[in-house]
């Protein structure tokens, strides 16, 4: 066990954790932020995606020690008012069904839109193929990402 400090959503969390513990469980069980989900534990489903210094990482296979000194952003910290362009598009199109995978879907999509503000379908396939949705909301995810890109463009211009 080691005493560590995690910076999650711009807040400091002093924690006592096994350095080998995946970041996922530190976020959920130790910091008590339950929006990031456990889906497979082996980086296959994307339900656990968070941002580590701005990069989308699978927190289920990222050791908590790797996050020390870096900025972790989880779904709870993506925006203060549920208003990131991706969140807004997800709401407008009613993307989620059960909703379990969508923290990860939204976190993956947010990085895609920062890197490629006007993504093609191929860009979306490349960025989102690592996120499984068992409810099968994929067509809406695609549509919502295109919509979020439009919203983001307008916000930049405006």
Residues that bind another protein (CB under 8 A): 1, 18, 21-22, 25, 28-30, 32-42, 44-45, 47, 74-76, 78-79, 82, 87, 90-92, 94-103, 106, 124-125, 128-129, 131-142
Q: Which residue, 32 or 158, is less far from another protein as judged by CB? A: 32
Please tell me whether residue 2 adopts helix, strand or coil conformation.
strand
For residues 28 and 51, which CB has a smaller minimum distance to another protein in the complex?
A: 28
Residue number with CB closer to another protein (16 or 157): 16
Closer CB to another protein, 57 or 106, in the complex? 106
Distance (Å, whole) CA 153 – CA 60: 33
Tell the smallest beta-carbon distance from residue 20 to another protein (Å).
8
Closer to another protein by CB, 71 or 100: give it: 100
| Residues 72/57, Cβ–Cβ less than 8 Å | no
CB atoms closer than 10 angstroms to residue 21: 18
Nearest to 106 by CA among 134, 78, 146: 78
> Least distance to another protein from the beta carbon of 118, Å?
18
The candidate with the shortest Cα–Cα distance to 6, out of 53, 41, 61, is 53
CB atoms within 10 A of CB 56: 21
Non-local CB neighbours of 146 within 8 Å, separated by 6+ positions: 119, 124
Q: Rounded to the nearest whole angstrom, what is the least distance from the CB of residue 91 to another protein in the complex?
A: 5
CB of 23 to another protein, least distance (A): 10
Smallest gap, in angstroms, from Cβ of residue 116 to another protein? Answer: 15
Supply φ then ψ for residue 40, to 5 degrees. -140, -25
């Amino acid at each position: 066990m080691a005493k560590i400090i995690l910076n999650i959503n711009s807040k400091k969390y002093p924690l006592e954790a096994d350095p080998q513990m995946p970041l996922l469980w530190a976020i959920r069980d130790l910091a008590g932020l339950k929006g990031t989900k456990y889906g497979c534990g082996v980086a296959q489903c994307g339900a656990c995606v968070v941002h580590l210094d701005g990069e989308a990482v699978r927190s289920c296979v990222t050791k908590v020690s790797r996050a020390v000194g870096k900025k972790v952003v989880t779904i709870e910290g993506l925006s203060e008012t549920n208003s990131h362009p991706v969140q807004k598009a997800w709401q407008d199109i009613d993307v989620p069904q059960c909703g379990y995978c969508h923290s990860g879907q939204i976190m993956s999509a947010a990085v895609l839109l920062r890197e490629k503000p006007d993504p093609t379908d191929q860009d979306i396939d490349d960025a989102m193929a690592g996120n499984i949705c068992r409810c099968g909301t994929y067509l809406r995810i695609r549509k919502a990402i295109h919509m979020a890109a439009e919203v983001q463009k307008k916000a930049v211009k405006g």
